[in-house]
Amino acid sequence: MKKKLLLLGICSLGFFSSCESFLEEKPYDFLTASNFYQNEGDAIAGLNGVFSLMQAQTYYGRTVWLVTELPGDYMAVVGATTGDRAELSRFTYTANNGEIGNWWVNNYRLIGRANDVIDKVPAVSMDEASKNNILGNARFLRALAYFELVRSYGDVPLITSPIKGPNDDLRPARTPKGAVYEQIIQDLQFAEANCLKENQIPAGNKGRVSSGAAASMLAKVYLTRASSSDAKGTDNQDALAACNRVINSGLYSLMPSYGDVFLPDRENNAEHIFSVQFDLPPNVGNIIVRQNLPAALGGFASFTAEDWFVRSYAATDVRKDWNLSNKANTTTLPQYFFNKFRDDKRIGNDSRANWLVTRYADVLLMQSEALNNLNAADVTKYQGINRVRQRAGLTALPTTATTKDAFVDLLVQERAWELCDEGHRRYDLIRLNRLKQVEKTIFNRDISDNYLLFPIPQTEIALNPNLTQNPGF
């Protein structure tokens, strides 16, 4: 899966320092991007190199949920009042926050590797459909990374080709986020048109990108842009159309039991649309299970659930007892911990729990969101949210017309109950315009507008004088 390639991930950020040090050193391997891609096997190996980056703890192995869940409203950091995690949780983060730096660096590392595949694979002699599937996978991953960046930092450097030498732009300026969104959408449209359908992906290749994954991500991108200053008039309609393509494909469905969604023995099930794959040693495992477990169960006891969130679940909602627990064997703990991801075969830090980037329940909730945005009086907006609620053991919401804002409040609740600890919360609260409101209501915390974005990492600004800092940092 790993290729021995000097330029693998060439010039990812911190790409400024790494490019310069590379140029100063002698190559220690005869393989470079220019001579590696000779046949289909090389193209697959190159794509594997893109996917493998996602498993790092400083990326989708941990940082993803630190930067998306802690600056939210239902997850608390245990003990610490300072440090990277506490800063994220308390909205006191600065440009020196290590996790915010990890998020920037690893998204650009992935972009660097994806650009390499996108640049070199077209010249490989191989079946055209297989080639376009590989390119579609790489373009999806590049789009995902840019989507993470643009909704985290705003304007970011847009780099769509490999950096090959000292004459290339090693210190790019930030690109307006509207142009970044356009590139994201183009990449995802290509991926949807060229990646295999879910039922065409061989069992041994689960974790690859499907056309349904691209459509699901397109829906999220359109909804996010629709809530921004770069909104296009068709964004909500385009989001709805993307959701409907996934739903009407018949290839995905809600698992009958909510807990089955998260069990490693049922990984890549009918509800999973795109997941980062983890496994036990000698493969790369996911630390998320141990990170959330209390010490009495062999965990790190790093986080707990806020009391308001525990109380918010209805008594009949099966998701509460799956997502949260205050039991360590027969001992009742003073606080609830997140117990969504489990693995009875866990070895130390390593679990088989895949990271769910997008799943079918999210698509159903996005469908309801898009319909509400288009026409608050359209009662079909209740269909998606009610399917999610009924699987959880709740009664369907009455399909009576509500205001747009009132329905948004229902979505904010439902997305928390359904998708907690899955890396959505900060993005959801910002997209649905509820972040400042919930922070004030729950914590009596006033959040200034600058905290709706992360600061550009100070280490990157020091390396690149063309990068400007976000206001307020």
User: Domain ranges in the chain?
Assistant: 39-174+433-466, 196-252+262-275+354-419, 278-307+330-342
Q: pLDDT at position 32, please? A: 66
Examine the pLDDT at 24 and tell me if it is beyond 50: no
CATH architecture of 39-174+433-466: Alpha Horseshoe (1.25)
Task: Give CATH for domain 196-252+262-275+354-419.
Answer: 1.25.40.900
Residues 325, 300: Cα–Cα separation, whole Å: 15
Q: Which residues is 337 bridged to in the sheet?
A: 325
84-97 mean pLDDT: 97
**pLDDT tens-digit readout, 354-412:** 999 999 999 999 999 999 999 999 999 999 999 999 999 999 999 987 899 999 999 99
Answer yes or no: same fold for 39-174+433-466 and 196-252+262-275+354-419: yes
**pLDDT tens-digit readout, 419-446:** 999 999 999 999 999 999 999 999 999 9
Examine the pLDDT at 1 and tell me if it is beyond 60: no
Higher pLDDT pick, 27 / 345: 345
Provide the mean pLDDT of the chain: 93
Examine the pLDDT at 470 and tell me if it is beyond 70: yes
Alpha helices (H) in 254-345, listed in sequence order: 288-292, 307-312, 318-323
Inter-CA distances, 119 with 37, 111, 193, Å: 10, 12, 19
Residues 270, 251: Cα–Cα separation, whole Å: 7
pTM of the entire predicted model: 0.93
265-293 mean pLDDT: 98
Residues 357, 158: Cα–Cα separation, whole Å: 22
Alpha-carbon torsion angle 61, 110, 179, 37, nearest 10: -150
Q: pLDDT at position 14, please? A: 39
Given a contact cutoff of 8 angstroms between Cβ atoms, the answer to whether 134 and 193 are in contact is no
Give the burial string for 198-209 (b: 16+ CB within 10 Å, else e).
beebeeeebbbb
**pLDDT tens-digit readout, 286-313:** 999 999 999 999 999 999 999 999 999 9
Q: How confident is the model at residue 17 (pLDDT cuts 50, 70, 90)?
A: very low
Q: What 3 state SS string does 351-376 have?
A: ECCCEEEEEHHHHHHHHHHHHHHHCC
Q: H or E segment at 330?
A: none
Q: Dihedral sign for Cα 432, 436, 439, 444, please.
A: negative
2-20 mean pLDDT: 34
Q: pLDDT at position 28, please? A: 36
